[in-house]
């Protein structure tokens, strides 16, 4: 996607962090923006901050885990702007601590409902309008390096949702090849956002507990949301499927892929037992 001016972007999880940074980045390119977030007051303030950049920006309180809520948001976006060209599936929540085997269904339902089904619901509601106008467009899935390598951070539920998002984006790329609609999946590591604090707040509103209610140091010291947005924007311009943002994650990914290739070496060497 190389044309931005006077086109329309829809961004989820847009009230703060990467989502708000993306909204400002595309607004500076001349795109009008629909900011979606479950936090009403925060997303209203975010839309005001984006509108001062000289574009039309609207805030829509949206629970992406609800298909009905997303569908209603899509109706409002089309009524306001007429078209959609860019969808950034960014909304996410995070729970850390505890082991996978002891994680309750309620936690699984919450994390997958926002991180995975949120993206699915938005694709169902916003991809058809992008396809309908024939002007091309782009779909961005904000995954994570945790979608390729889990590590020892006790974030297995979050990682499972991000692994699923990587597969979703790869499948979309096949589905949309040759249509003029690009697909990118972004693989950030630490970004200095309030995802821990926001997730803890949202979790608390559901009567749950987050064992990490404040951001660890590597998140506090992470890449700025603005740099993340700039790197993502370059990926959209260049129509890259994989948008790696943190060079330091190369070693982690190479180690995982070496282990996979070693497994294939053993498969080639296998002989049936006598």
The C-alpha atoms of residue 187 and residue 146 are separated, in whole angstroms, by: 8
Among 117, 158, 196, 242, the active-site one is 158
Residue 158 designated active-site: yes
The C-alpha atoms of residue 49 and residue 24 are separated, in whole angstroms, by: 8
Containing H/E element for 36? strand 32-37
Name the pairing type of β-strands 32-37 and 57-61.
Answer: parallel
The C-alpha atoms of residue 233 and residue 208 are separated, in whole angstroms, by: 35
DSSP 148-203: T--TTSS-HHHHHHHHHHHHHHHHHHHHTTTTTEEEEEEE---B-S-HHHHHHHHH
Q: Is the separation of the CB atoms in 216 and 9 below 8 Å? A: no
Tell me the CA distances in angstroms from 10 to 3, 100, 157, 254, 265, one per residue in order. Answer: 15, 33, 26, 34, 45
Of 65, 78, 61, whose CA–CA distance to 127 is shortest? 78
Read off the tokens for 96: 């850390």
The C-alpha atoms of residue 155 and residue 30 are separated, in whole angstroms, by: 37
Active site residues: 158
């Amino acid at each position: 996607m190389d044309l931005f001016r006077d086109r329309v972007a829809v961004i989820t999880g847009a009230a703060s962090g990467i989502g708000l940074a993306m909204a400002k980045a595309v607004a500076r390119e001349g795109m009008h923006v629909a900011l979606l977030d479950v936090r009403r007051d925060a997303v209203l303030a975010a839309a005001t901050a984006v509108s001062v950049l000289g574009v039309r920006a609207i805030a829509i309180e949206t629970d992406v885990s609800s298909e009905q809520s997303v569908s209603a948001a899509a109706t409002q976006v089309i009524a306001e702007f007429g078209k959609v060209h860019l969808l950034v599936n960014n909304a996410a929540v995070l729970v850390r601590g505890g082991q996978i085997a002891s994680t309750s269904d309620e936690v699984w339902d919450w994390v997958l409902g926002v991180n995975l089904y949120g993206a699915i619901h938005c694709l169902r509601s916003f991809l058809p309008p992008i396809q309908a106008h024939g002007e091309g467009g782009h779909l961005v899935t904000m995954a994570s390096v945790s979608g390729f390598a889990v590590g020892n951070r006790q974030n297995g539920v979050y990682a499972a949702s991000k692994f699923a998002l990587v597969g979703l984006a790869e499948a979309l790329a096949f589905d949309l090849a040759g249509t003029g609609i690009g697909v990118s999946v972004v693989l950030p590591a630490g970004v200095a956002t309030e995802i821990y604090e926001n997730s803890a707040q949202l979790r608390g509103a559901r009567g749950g507990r987050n064992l990490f209610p404040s951001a660890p140091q590597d998140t506090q010291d992470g890449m700025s949301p603005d740099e993340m947005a700039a790197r993502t924007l370059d990926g959209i311009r260049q129509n890259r499927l994989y948008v790696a943002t943190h060079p330091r994650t190369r070693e982690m990914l190479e180690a995982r892929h070496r282990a996979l290739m070693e497994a294939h070496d053993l498969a080639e060497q296998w002989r049936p037992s006598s």
